[in-house]
Chains A and B, each alone.
Chain A
């Protein structure tokens, strides 16, 4: 019984691991912290898995648990993430696809996201993942109206960081 559950869980997670990796990219700055967060997310998902009874899609549930883990962990450590530490390898952009100007601009954007707080990061992440407000509100456990308001604030914050 347990074996079967294990197999089910690992298979699902292997298939959807991109979600966790992308969260790690938003919340961490180097490969070591990326791996740590990924492992913590895996453990939290596994702990919560018995309660996941397939009412929603695995991926929907995973967004919720994984983001919560990242937010909680980030709060516990209260790390001040310095933009200088930001590892450019993480967002390597192939040279032939972008001209220098566009590349530079993207880097500034990613840097700006790194400076946001834990909840704002989650909002930007879900926005980048092309989630609609209903999905965002479900994942973060806030109302749809609240999600909209918060998102607009984050956009303003980002603008202010980029063009101070």
Chain B
């Protein structure tokens, strides 16, 4: 086919117009993959924060605050909000730092270290979410009970005997367990995929290191 042969000639001439990357540019490229995963972790944490903030604004309406007032929980709720925002900000900052670090990394050893650090940060973050959810839940229940006992005038309906207390505590713990389980599952799905990919990269790097 003449046409294709004509094209072949032209194809050779095109070689002069091809882009040319330097040694450094190619070198940087082989480490890019982990950096994009870490970037996703950073972006998801921001999205999560925004979603939480939006939910808070919509759920915490007048009625909610009135209810809190009733239970005498206003100060406590505000304190929880402030603390959780502060800690979440701290983690977003850490995720951002990890992202910057991995981007600027120039050797396999340092990259492996940064991958491990990122994984640790994510695990700490999930632990923080789980522990804070549990603690806030328990404290809220406790304060509600106490304040109810203080404010209520009729005593007859608040008297629990030992078995009733046992059932009540058992039920609370069960609900808490399920709640934490669901939260844990959600985070496993969101971050688990990214963490697994990071770990795969890490193992590949390690294999290269050994060989």
Which residues in A have some Cβ–Cβ distance to B below 8 Å?
A: 1-3, 5-6, 9-11, 13-14, 17-18, 21-22, 25, 38-39, 42-43, 46-47, 50, 91-93, 97, 102, 105-106, 109-110, 124, 127-130, 155, 158-159, 162
Contact A155 B32, beta carbon cutoff 8 Å: no
Q: Give residues of chain B (37-68) contacting chain A, Cβ–Cβ below 8 Å.
A: none
Q: Name B residues whose Cβ lies closer than 8 Å to a Cβ of A.
A: 1, 3-4, 6-8, 10-11, 13-15, 17-23, 26-27, 29-30, 32-33, 107-109, 204, 207-209, 211
Query: Given that A109-B7, A158-B3 are known contacts, is A14 also in contact with B29, CB under 8 Å in the complex?
Result: no
Assess the B23–A109 pair: CB atoms within 8 A: no
Of B3, B15, B29, B211, the contact of A39 (CB 8 Å cutoff): B29
CA distance A21 to B100 in the complex (A): 29
Chain B residues with Cβ below 8 Å from A5 are 208, 211
In contact, A17 and B20 (Cβ under 8 angstroms): yes
Nearest neighbor of A17 in chain B, beta-carbon distance: B21
Which residues of A have CB within 8 Å of B11?
22, 128-129
* Chain B residues with CB below 8 A from A39, complex form: 29, 32
Which residues from chain B contact A162 at a C-beta distance below 8 Å?
A: 3
Contact A158 B204, beta carbon cutoff 8 Å: no
Q: How far is B17's CA from A93's CA once the two chains are assembled, in angstroms?
A: 9
Contact A50:B208 (CB < 8 A) given known A2-B108, A18-B18, A158-B3: yes
Q: Residues of A contacting B22 with CB < 8 Å?
A: 14
Residue from A5, A21, A124 with most neighbouring chain B CB atoms (10 Å):
A21
Which residues of A have CB within 8 Å of B23? 10-11, 14
Assuming the contacts A6-B108, A10-B26, asked whether A50 and B3 have C-beta atoms less than 8 A apart, the reply is: no
Are B20 and A1 interface neighbours, CB within 8 A?
no
B7 touches A21 (CB 8 A): no
Can you list 27 pairs linking A and B with CB atoms under 8 Å apart? A1-B209, A3-B108, A6-B27, A10-B23, A10-B27, A13-B26, A17-B20, A18-B18, A21-B18, A22-B11, A42-B30, A43-B30, A43-B33, A91-B14, A92-B17, A97-B13, A102-B6, A105-B3, A105-B6, A109-B3, A110-B7, A127-B8, A128-B7, A128-B11, A130-B8, A159-B3, A162-B3
